[in-house]
Amino acid sequence: MTNDELFERARRVIPGGVNSPVRAFRAVGGTPRFIVRGDGPYIFDAEGKRYIDYIGSWGPMILGHRHPAVQAAVHAAVDEGLSFGAPTEREIELVEAILAQVPSMEQVRLVSSGTEAAMSALRLARGATGRNVIVKFEGCYHGHADALLVKAGSGLATFGHPTSAGVPEAVVQHTLVLEYNNVAALDEAFARHGKTIACVMIEPIAGNMNFVRATVPFMQRLRELCTGHGALLVFDEVMTGFRVALGGAQSLYAQAIPGFAPDLSVFGKVIGGGMPLAAFGGKRAVMEQLAPLGPVYQAGTLSGNPVATACGLATLREIAKPGYFDALAARTRGLVVGLLEAAQSAGVMLTADCEGGMFGFFFAAELPQNYGEVMATDRERFNRFFHAMLGRGVYLAPALYEAGFVSSAHTHDDIAATVAAAAASFAA
């Protein structure tokens, strides 16, 4: 069947024809591609067309598709059984592998999705502090839990309003939404509400308003305020964890800010290697507030699933090899530099940034620093560029607001082909 035929068939039985909204191509128009298989840096659609893949299942496929070591680990795990609902040694091995690279954490709880991990981390922060208010930033996405589906209020430090039907105002009445990279807003929020703030949750490098990184002064002030007011700093590294660096984004800020560390961290995507797996963790004193030791309840039937942990553990072992991230970062920088040079040659205004295996670009003169500035970039030009690249066999995120991902399976030839496609698209 063609992509069009499959989409029409899907729309009859699945809302919008997709099981996650951005897949529907609503932001860019056109028909989504129905993927039948992946191989290394490529995916293939129902019509047999090959694409160079810069989505990578929205981040997990850091090794590319069908990596031999990961495939072998998953096949072996499947042969042992799909799910037990009981502890396994591999759960311990995976958590130990995570802790070995993230010194801010002493204990970790495994779950099945980034949404579940973020939701549980917020509940834990509230339970550990005895406070209700949570702070998030406009443009940062932490999953679809009710309390996090919030748009900004009208002032620097006002509470937000639901962005989804089905979320009562009462559910978000304790969610404070601030502007990303705005130190003055931070200061005002803590001056007004510091005694009631349980935690601040942040994407250190936002990937859901494309690629926007928190500045070092902003992050340093955030850490100071949380420490001074007894609030927990929660790093959402679902996207950046084991993707921008082996130690995650927090390792980059620790290099710039002496003694820097978040209180809680949330991980997903790469640690599952493409299987449903996520985690949250922190210091022992906080994590032991969780059931069965403490009063904060959290549970999951498929948490620590034996097939998912096999996939994640094999992935982490590969990316922990010496030189892995240096090579990945160099490949990603090569892509970004190539895109910028191609745009400049065509007289197209473009700006871009990257870290590790994560990148983003905007049709704008300067890199945006917050959601409002992202919204001011040229969305229509992005949409035209997306379809021009898709037609030339390059699969980018079908929305201006999503970061892109390079895998270690992408070769220099793949990068060169992508830059050539971009040059032709810019010229058009």
Instruction: Give the residue-averaged pLDDT of 234-240.
Output: 98
User: What are 347-395's pLDDT values in tens digits?
Assistant: 999 999 999 999 999 999 999 999 999 999 999 999 999 999 999 999 9
Q: Say what the pLDDT of residue 152 is.
A: 64
Q: Which residue has the tokens 């007289």?
A: 347
β-strand pairing of 42-45 with 278-282: unpaired
pTM beyond 0.85, yes or no:
yes
CB of 42 closer than 8 Å to CB of 407: no
pLDDT (0 to 100) of residue 171: 86
Q: Taking 70 as the threshold, does the pLDDT of residue 271 lie above it? A: yes
C-alpha to C-alpha distance for 139 and 156, rounded to whole angstroms: 15
The b/e string for 191-226 (b: 16+ C-beta within 10 A; e otherwise) is eebbeebbbbbbbbbbbbbbbbbbeeebbbbbbebb
What is residue 204's three-state secondary structure? Answer: coil
Sequence-distant (6+) residues with CB within 8 A of 311 are 70, 73, 74, 77, 272, 273, 274, 275, 277
Residues forming a β-bridge with 53: 395
Angle CA 259–280–160, to nearest 5: 90
Asked whether 198 and 129 are in contact (CB, 8 A), the reply is yes
- Tokens 């990961």 appear where? 70
Which residue did the predictor score with more confidence, 153 or 154?
153
State how far the Cα of 422 lies from the Cα of 428, in Å rounded to an integer.
10
pLDDT tens for each residue of 40-73: 999 999 999 999 999 999 999 999 999 999 999 9
pLDDT (mean) for 167-192: 94
Q: Which CATH class is domain 3-66+322-427?
A: alpha beta
Question: How far apart are alpha carbons 32 and 364 in whole angstroms?
Answer: 26
- By three-state DSSP, how is residue 233 classified? strand
**pLDDT for position 290:** 98
Nearest 5°: phi and psi at 381? -70, -40
- The reported pLDDT for the residue numbered 158 is 55
Q: How many helices (H) and strands (E) does the chain have?
A: 13, 18
Query: Domain segments of the chain: what residues?
Result: 3-66+322-427, 68-319
Name the residue with tokens 């304790």: 174
Which amino acid, 105? M
- Antiparallel, parallel or unpaired: β 278-282 and 351-355: unpaired
Name the nearest CA neighbour of 54 among 343, 420, 424, 415: 415
Instruction: Give the DSSP per-residue string, 102-165.
Output: -TT-SEEEEES-HHHHHHHHHHHHHHHHT--EEEEETT----S-GGG-EE--SSTT-B-EESST
Inter-axis angle of helices 306-319 and 324-345, nearest 10: 80
Q: Is 232 within 8 Å of 128 (Cβ atoms)?
A: yes
| pLDDT tens figures, 313-337 | 999 999 999 999 999 999 999 999 9
Q: Tell me the CATH number for domain 68-319.
A: 3.40.640.10
Which residues are designated catalytic? 141, 236, 269
Q: What pLDDT, on a 0 to 100 scale, did the predictor assign at position 42? A: 98
Label residue 91 by pLDDT band (50, 70, 90).
very high
